[in-house]
Structure 1
């Protein structure tokens, strides 16, 4: 396939372009900027993102004040949820990784901003500090939102044109998210094997799932459930986003080859896999001015794509000269 743009696009999709780096002369493949759709900046050293092929990230739980102070022209481009909204005593309160700056307790379903603990107050705070999404915690075994309060959060978020992302874990939590019209799951469901009918409801509702498979690699039951659920979701036409939950354990900054390989094993392959990486969500527009460049020969087959992506790096557009 080396040098054949038609074979390249058949394998990786229409966005893949054969090119060379103007400064070094090395040949390779250019892709749109790659995005990790689930990270936590306060838990990592972000300096390796560009060298590791990641041009944009979505922070799904951080201090909204600190995130709002970040330079707008920084790479990786950042979209964020701000603080995680949770019931009193709910997840992630009390976790050592979660200082109280990164969560807000919502104790009132009020749709009127300015009420302490109110749904509208919490959503509006995140929106004021530049949130592009709103994140809620739906974690069985801890305090859980009632349907009215969760519905109020979703209603206010949607009124502000903000999608709602949910951390969903445990029995009954996916049903709660579905009934409240939550837009995105922060993780592929991993607590249980879902029925095809329930997965079908998620697809029918237009729900998107962020992959985060690799965080379960040391938990056989969780990785089995998550892989099975993602396979069923993708096969039914569900919209998948690449995401790692970076900051959760020992994960690489940059492309996580294990995550990509796990998605490949779940049936998200070739151009469909690349689509999960280049999706600009939650923004509508792709990051301007940069591309992801993978030097060397293109992958020879679908099975080679994960390891091939390990060499990706972020470069300015002007450094690349297209060959086709």
Structure 2
């Protein structure tokens, strides 16, 4: 960090870290009296699976809120109602093609997959469905997630691991979800799947595209449409270097085009360091995100518009900074009232 990170300004932002950062010191009445450092908003892991991973270690290491992207709707609704941290938003079940990913996977919890048949028809049929709010299996599947309290609809679009939804069916899901006021988040895997999700107007890709290098014009269209990409780069760094390079390159160009990159780890997918993952952060830095961009990705309120859902009287505290990736991994949650601007 440059000396600007230690600006004497008692109330202004710490410039290299962006407008979300503030100089603070710990209260003299707390467990760490007078310790100086940086206050940031609560951090969110935007891609987890709480039926597969215990959230407590992540909370102990700086994560205040999570977005569960695939679970049995009833089970995740019960988990989200529990008191304490992390605060939870969730998608409910994976919507997928008949026989498609992740149906049949031993790791997929019972009740976490809804298989859908193709809708058939053409663009005129879709327009009629939109204008007349025709009900069918697609609408029923989306409404089920909404009734269980979902904040987002998760779609699995994986051409590598089985049948994938066609464009007409994906379009119908997007129409039904948007009519219900819910964004659509897509797991896109396999040749052409990320572009299919982009062309269909999906709001979010739950993994930065990793199956192939996207053409620049496709990346630019995704950014211009306001699509967000959840990073999940550490799983590729862990598993396969060439896939990680492809994903990081796609993120680099998406970010340079003004795309919205959101922090997420896919916690529950094998062994990952809990909390703010330094490998994930380092990969984001490698993709061209400045420290302020990484912090914005960690604090992004998606799938909500306002950040309040992740707050509830806590803030992120970090001792005075060192190297960005390892420094952010020292994040801890503290009561907001314990921190004083300095």
TM-score range, shorter chain: over 0.9
Contact 1:291 1:314 in 2 (8 A): yes
Report what 2:146 is aligned to: 127
Q: Does 1:291 align with 2:315?
A: yes
Could you say what the CA RMSD is over the residues aligned between the two structures, in angstroms? 1.6
Greater than 3 Å deviation, 4+ residue runs:
5-8, 108-113
Report what 1:266 is aligned to: 287
1-structure distance, mates of 2:224, 2:301: 22
1-structure distance, mates of 2:181, 2:104: 31
2-structure distance, mates of 1:149, 1:198: 21
Report SS of the residue matched to 1:42.
Answer: coil
TM-score, structure 2 length as denominator?
A: 0.88
2-structure distance, mates of 1:311, 1:268: 19
Report SS of the residue matched to 2:111.
Answer: helix
Matches within 5 A, 1:89-168: 89-109=99-119, 112-113=134-135, 115=136, 118-141=137-160, 142-168=162-188
Contact 2:97 2:118 in 1 (8 A): no
Report what 1:241 is aligned to: 262
2-structure distance, mates of 1:5, 1:59: 40
1:307 to 326, 329, 335: 326
For structure 2, the residue ranges without an aligned partner over 5 or more in a row are 120-128
Q: Does 1:33 align with 2:42?
A: yes
Give, in angstroms, the shift of residue 158 of structure 1.
0.4
Give, in angstroms, the shift of residue 49 of structure 1.
2.2
Contact 1:38 1:245 in 2 (8 A): yes
Give, in angstroms, the shift of residue 196 of structure 1.
0.9
For structure 1, the residue ranges without an aligned partner over 5 or more in a row are none
* CA distances 1:33-84 after superposition (whole Å, capped 9, x unpaired): 0011101111111111222100010000011101112326431110100001
Summarize the Cα distance change of 1:99–1:51 in structure 2 as closer, same or farther, 3 Å threshold.
closer
Give, in angstroms, the shift of residue 108 of structure 1.
5.0
Report what 2:125 is aligned to: none
Q: Does 1:4 align with 2:23?
A: no
* CA distances 1:157-206 after superposition (whole Å, capped 9, x unpaired): 00111100000011121222122111100001111111111111111221
Give, in angstroms, the shift of residue 263 of structure 1.
0.4
Report SS of the residue matched to 1:100.
Answer: coil
* CA distances 1:63-121 after superposition (whole Å, capped 9, x unpaired): 110111232643111010000100110000111111231111112538644x5xx1101
Aligned residues between the structures: 315
Report SS of the residue matched to 1:252.
Answer: coil
